[in-house]
Chain A
Amino acid sequence: NAGVTQTPKFQVLKTGQSMTLQCAQDMNHNSMYWYRQDPGMGLRLIYYSASEGTTDKGEVPNGYNVSRLNKREFSLRLESAAPSQTSVYFCASSLQGGIPNEQFFGPGTRLTVL
């Protein structure tokens, strides 16, 4: 099992460009999450999907959209990138959203917006 995979690993964008970060898990987990990690801020939840077909905003959703394509895949889209979105993005999944099972994290995507 690959666990949680993220693509790409690194990306550089110019202000105003758009891109989609891809995430997939092969553990048959119900819930999936997108976080960003910034220096001195810890991890902050952007969006999550408790189950296939549902998505909800987290702590810092502005400037992002998400799609739960199927049970395996959860993508994060930046429509018009801004320098403030320079960060490391982590995708995670867990077995059941209502029970605080451990979250399994992907290796991260390091995004720089110039």
Chain B
Amino acid sequence: DQQVKQNSPSLSVQEGRISILNCDYTNSMFDYFLWYKKYPAEGPTFLISISSIKDKNEDGRFTVFLNKSAKHLSLHIVPSQPGDSAVYFCAARESNTGNQFYFGTGTSLTVIP
């Protein structure tokens, strides 16, 4: 059973506009959430993370929002650039395991020039 879900397999956005990628989770024991970006034929690379005690974390063009009551997080990219076109994975850590990370199925973002 998928504990981290990304229900949108793909998303297309015009260059310069905002991209919003969504992630839902079911496990209330998750204490840390991360976003990774993946280009074809490469491994994922870390983008941004957020602790469950926060509701927002910002790093340049990337902002992650966490709504614990809804078990929902989102990644905002503003402004979107063609180089942002990639697959984005949401991941979560279960607090009592320390090293168990659960990944979503990914959302493929295409930024149209």
How many residue-residue contacts, CB under 8 A, span A and B? 62
Give B82-113 interface residues, CB cut-off 8 Å to A: 89, 91, 93, 98-106
User: How extensive is the interface on chain A, given as a class?
Assistant: 20 to 34
Within the complex, which residue of B4, B42, B98, B100 is in contact with A42, where a contact is CB–CB below 8 Å? B4
User: Smallest CB–CB gap between A60 and chain B, Å?
Assistant: 11
User: How extensive is the interface on chain B, given as a class?
Assistant: 20 to 34
Within the complex, which residue of A4, A31, A50 is in contact with B43, where a contact is CB–CB below 8 Å? A4
Asked if B105 and A41 sit within 8 Å, CB to CB, the answer is yes
Contact A42 to B93, CB < 8 A, known contacts A90-B44, A105-B43, A107-B43: no
Give Cα A98 to B105, complex, Å: 24
Interface membership of A79, Cβ < 8 A:
no
Interface membership of A81, Cβ < 8 A:
no
Asked if A103 and B4 sit within 8 Å, CB to CB, the answer is no
A residues less than 8 Å from B44 (CB atoms): 43, 90, 103, 105
Asked if B100 and A59 sit within 8 Å, CB to CB, the answer is yes
Asked if A92 and B43 sit within 8 Å, CB to CB, the answer is yes
User: Smallest CB–CB gap between B3 and chain A, Å?
Assistant: 9
Contact A103 to B46, CB < 8 A, known contacts A43-B103, A44-B103: yes
A residues less than 8 Å from B81 (CB atoms): none
Question: Can you name the residue of chain A whose Cβ is closest to the Cβ of B47?
Answer: A102
Interface membership of B45, Cβ < 8 A:
yes
Contact A31 to B99, CB < 8 A, known contacts A40-B105, A42-B104: yes
Asked if A42 and B99 sit within 8 Å, CB to CB, the answer is no
Interface membership of B41, Cβ < 8 A:
yes
- Can you list the 7 inter-chain pairs with the closest CB atoms, starting with the nearest? A105-B43, A102-B46, A100-B32, A43-B103, A42-B103, A42-B105, A97-B99
